[in-house]
Every structure is written in C-alpha cells, then in structure tokens.
Amino acid sequence: MQRSSPRRARALARSADPYDLYERSVQDPPRDVAFVDRWFRRYRGRTPLHLREDFCGTAALCAAWVRSDGRRTAEGIDLCPEALAAGRRRHLEPLPASARARVRLVAGDVRTVHRRAVDVTCALNFSYCALHERRDLVRYFRRVRRGLADDGIFVLDVLGGRDAMIDNEERHDHGAFVYVWEQTSFDPLTHRMKAAIHFEFPDGSRIHRAFAYDWRLWTVPELCDALVDAGFARVHRLWERTGRDGEFTGSLYEPKGAVSNEDLWWTYLIAEA
Ligand SMILES: C[S@@+](CC[C@H](N)C(=O)[O-])C[C@H]1O[C@@H](n2cnc3c(N)ncnc32)[C@H](O)[C@@H]1O
C-alpha cells in the first residue's frame, strides 16, 4: 500500500499497526462479499466462485471471499510487497489450511500481471485512481476484461461530488484512535487530487501520513466510456438511496433516469464482460 514516511511517532502511535487501523477505518470485507454476491446473482443468475482483488493491499477481501464458501477461490494483486506481507500475516495465516490453499497473492502491476479467468474482479477504494492517463486506464480495463469468464463482471467504486474536489478534512472517532482523511489539493484542470490518511491517539501521538494518495479523480462518464472502449459489453451505474432525512441509507439500486446531486457521494459501477 502507498505508505509514506511517517514522522517520528511516539507511544500509542509507535505500537499501532497502520494496516490494522486502515482496515478498521475504511474496509468491510464481509459486506463487500455480500454486495458482490448479490449483484452477480442479479445479472448472471448463478453463484460467483472465483474472484480477483486488484490493488488488494492486505487482501482482506480475498480472505473474506474464501471464508464465505468452501468452493471459492481468490487472487489478490498488488505492487507493494509490504502490504502483501501484512496481508499474509493478518488474513491468510489465520485461515484454515483448506481455505488458505484457495488464495493466491501476486506481487505485480495490475496492468501487466497474467490473469486466469475469474467470475468477478474488484478494484475497490478508488484504487484505479492511481492511474492518471486514460490510455493506462483503458489498458488496465482491457486486461481486466480479458481475465474474466464469458459472464464475468468487474466491480469498481467511484468517489465524487463537490466536497471531493476541495481541500478538506474528515475525522471519524473510533474510540481507540481517530481516523483523519485529509484532501490537500485538487486541480480542476486535470482532476489530480492529493490526499492522506493520518491516525491520532488519545495520548496525543499521531501517525502522520500513514497512507498518501496521488489520484486522478475520474468521473462516472469518463469511466463508463473507458470501460466500453476496453470492450465491456455493458456498464451498470448504481446509486445509493436517500432516506426522508436526505441522508444516504447504504442501499444501492440501478436508477433508470437522473439522480439528485449530492455534495459528496460514493457509488459503484458494474461492468459486464
Ligand atoms: C487504496 S489501497 C487499496 C487497498 C484495498 N484494496 C482497499 O480496498 O482498501 C491501493 C493499493 O493499490 C496498490 N497499487 C497502486 N498501483 C498499483 C498497480 N499499478 N498495480 C498493483 N497495485 C497497485 C498500492 O500498493 C495499494 O496497496
């Protein structure tokens, strides 16, 4: 994962595992497994068995996937050996041997790694935003499509809205630590944004820039066009329902027409091979 060099940390910050804090702050692998399962069944009418987690980091989704069904296999791909090693330690070693044997982690670039056919490929937490040029993005998407079964799907999430395009700081108190998401720059001409994750502790210590991001904030129409150019047959754009109070409910649907604009949103695209 894209770790930056943290400043000299003290006390609680020094003993904390940034990968553990990251996962507790931004990931929910069992929820992702249920999400993928539900939408795959809806579009394909069968149970998805083989999953690839691109930009897998610690491969938490791979582990949750093989745990969820004894027939399931998972392959995780990431450039960062440190994140993969943390994933082996945190998620693969605790698995029963029979489940561990169904996970393969590959250190490599998602644009070049040779792929076996899978039912589902996921690129979550906006990781493809690390690809800044359209030709790179299309090349990556083409590789994803070639690595899917004939009825395979590609699931990616998208971040957007006015508040994703400003310098901003969001804080979430998890009790033992505070998760801080800081957006430090956004260029409207290129949609390049810089952001970082920090963690703060009750003793005043902090892991500054535990993870840092240099992204291109791709828009939904740009992604849909790139997916079609890469050969995907159809792209479904999901959106999150809002409740009477106007707040997002966590429940996703595929809108038939326009949706109402929101200051900050996070949704999913599902592309059919
Ligand atoms: C935001 S983390 C995502 C971790 C996890 N999958 C999640 O959903 O939270 C992005 C990961 O992408 C990896 N990465 C960035 N560019 C990559 C590339 N071209 N090929 C493979 N991995 C890449 C980084 O090493 C990092 O671990």
Are 122 and 256 contained in the same domain?
yes
Of ligand 1's listed atoms, the one at least distance from the Cα of 110 is 20
Which of 115, 150, 136, 123 has its CA nearest to residue 222?
Answer: 136
Residue with the nearest Cα to atom 27 of ligand 1? 1
Ligand 1 atom 20, closest CA: 109
Q: Which residues pair with 266 in a beta bridge?
A: 159
Domain boundary among 193, 216, 239: 216
- Name the phi and psi angles at 182, rounded to 5: -120, 120
**Structural domain that includes position 95:** 23-159+219-272
State how many domains the chain has: 2
Question: What pLDDT is attached to residue 17?
Answer: 97
| 196 and 120 part of one domain | no
Residue 220 CB less than 6 A away from ligand 1: no
Predicted pLDDT of residue 167: 97
End-to-end CA separation in angstroms for the chain: 28
Encoded amino acid at 41, one letter: R
- CA 245–ligand 1 middle distance (angstroms): 35
Question: From first to last of its 273 residues, what are the pLDDT tens digits of the chain?
Answer: 666 555 555 689 999 999 999 999 999 999 999 999 999 999 999 999 999 999 999 999 999 999 999 999 999 999 999 999 999 999 999 999 999 999 999 999 999 987 789 999 999 999 999 999 999 999 999 999 999 999 999 999 999 999 999 999 999 999 999 999 999 999 999 999 999 999 999 999 999 999 999 999 999 999 999 999 999 999 999 999 988 888 889 899 999 999 999 999 999 999 999
Cβ(110) – ligand 1 distance below 6 Å: yes
- Pair 76, 121 in one domain: yes
Dig out the tokens for 77 from the structure. 């791909």
Can you give the pLDDT at residue 245?
Answer: 87
Q: Are 36 and 132 found together in one domain? A: yes
Q: What is the distance in A from the centroid of ligand 1 to the CA of 214?
A: 12
Distance 203 CA to ligand 1 centre (A): 31
Cα–Cα distance measured from residue 213 to residue 95, given in angstroms and rounded to the nearest whole number: 30
Mutation choice for ligand 1 from 31, 65, 127, 266, CB with most ligand atoms inside 8 A = 127
**DSSP secondary-structure letter at 3?**
B
The rounded distance, in Å, linking the Cα atoms of 93 and 187 is 42
CATH of the domain at 134: 3.40.50.150
Give residue 116's pLDDT.
86
Q: Are residues 224 and 140 in the same domain?
A: yes
Query: Which residue CA neighbors atom 18 of ligand 1 most closely?
Result: 109
Do 212 and 2 form a contact (C-beta atoms < 8 A)? yes
26, exposed or middle or buried, with CB in 10 Å at 0-12, 13-18, 19+? middle
Same domain? For 228 and 168 the reply is no
- Alpha carbons 101 and 117: distance in angstroms, whole number: 18
Dihedral class, residue 96 (left if φ above 0, else alpha if ψ from -120 to 50, else beta): beta
* Element at 180 (helix H, strand E): strand 178-187
Q: Which atom of ligand 1 is closest in space to residue 83's alpha carbon?
A: 27
Q: What is the pLDDT of residue 243?
A: 87
Same domain? For 225 and 152 the reply is yes
Q: Is the Cβ atom of 78 under 6 angstroms away from ligand 1?
A: yes
For residue 20, the tally of other CB atoms under 10 A from its CB is: 14
Q: Is the CB of 83 under 6 A from ligand 1?
A: yes
Does one domain contain both 39 and 126? yes
Q: How far apart are CA 33 and CA 28, in angstroms?
A: 9
Give, for ligand 1, the residue of 25, 79, 136 to mutate: max count of ligand atoms closer than 8 Å to Cβ: 79
